[in-house]
């Protein structure tokens, strides 16, 4: 057990590495708790603001219904094709709903920078088009676990 813990510390990302990684990645996997207690995982685009992970979810989805009933969530962001390239992070906690549901573009000061980041990252535009089908949830994680297996080859 102790060897696993030492290795875990060796491959953990620094705060700067984690920030750079989450800023660059586009797709995460969101795990929610279904009404019957079973886990439900689904992919979703996101944006990282340096403190929180912002998820722009379709409001008529199982994921949204799960989060409305139970805001606890685990989110995995990962990358790499071969074992020695694997890196990622798991962020967990409870989400907060931000803005109107569904989002139609009402002024929400808290969303200005987030929507600009999301629009640039995913669509190459400065303003996020609102389709009346999505809404925002914010995860400011209680716990974060990260790994970067490329560090094993370097060490």
- Mean pLDDT for each consecutive 10-residue tract of the chain (155 residues)? 52 95 97 94 96 97 96 97 92 97 94 96 93 96 95 75
- Tell me how far apart the terminal alpha carbons of the chain are, to the nearest angstrom: 20
Quote the pLDDT of residue 54. Answer: 98
Query: How crowded is the C-beta side of 24, counted as CA atoms within 13 Å?
Result: 11
> What is the chain's length?
155
Tell me how far apart the alpha carbons of residues 128 and 113 are, in angstroms, rounded to a whole number: 11
Do the domain assignments include residue 7?
Answer: yes
The CATH number for 93's domain is 2.30.110.10
Count helices and strands in the chain by DSSP H and E runs: 5, 7
- Residue with structure tokens 């979703």? 44
* 129 belongs to a structural domain: yes
pLDDT at 4: 41
Give the integer Cα–Cα distance in Å for 109 and 155.
Answer: 45
Tell me if 100 is assigned to some domain. Answer: yes
| Residue labelled with tokens 């510390």 | 9
Residue 11 belongs to a domain: yes
Instruction: Look at residue 27 and tell me if it is in a domain.
Output: yes
pTM: 0.90
The pLDDT of residue 152: 87
Residue 36 lies in a domain: yes
Residue 10: its pLDDT value, please? 83
Q: Which residue has the tokens 């139609």?
A: 104
Query: Which structural domain range is residue 72 located in?
Result: 2-149
Residues 76/44, Cβ–Cβ less than 8 Å: no
Number of domains the chain contains: 1
Tokens (6 digits) for 33: 């708790």
Is 154 inside a domain boundary?
A: no
pLDDT value of position 155: 56
Residue 16: its H or E element = helix 15-24
Domain assignment present for 155: no
């Amino acid at each position: 057990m102790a060897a696993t813990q030492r290795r875990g510390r060796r491959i953990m990302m620094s705060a700067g590495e984690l920030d750079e990684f989450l800023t660059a990645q586009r797709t995460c996997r969101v795990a929610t708790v279904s009404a019957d207690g079973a886990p439900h995982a689904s992919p979703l685009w996101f944006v990282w603001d340096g403190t929180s992970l912002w998820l722009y979810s379709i409001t008529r989805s199982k994921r949204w219904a799960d989060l409305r009933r139970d805001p606890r969530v685990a989110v995995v962001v990962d990358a790499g094709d071969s074992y020695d390239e694997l890196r990622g992070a798991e962020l967990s906690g409870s989400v907060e709903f931000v803005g109107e549901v569904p989002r139609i573009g009402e002024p929400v000061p808290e969303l200005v920078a987030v929507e600009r980041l999301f629009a640039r990252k995913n669509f190459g535009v400065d303003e996020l088009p609102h389709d009346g089908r999505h809404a925002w949830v914010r995860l400011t994680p209680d716990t974060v676990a990260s790994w970067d297996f490329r560090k094993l080859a370097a060490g």
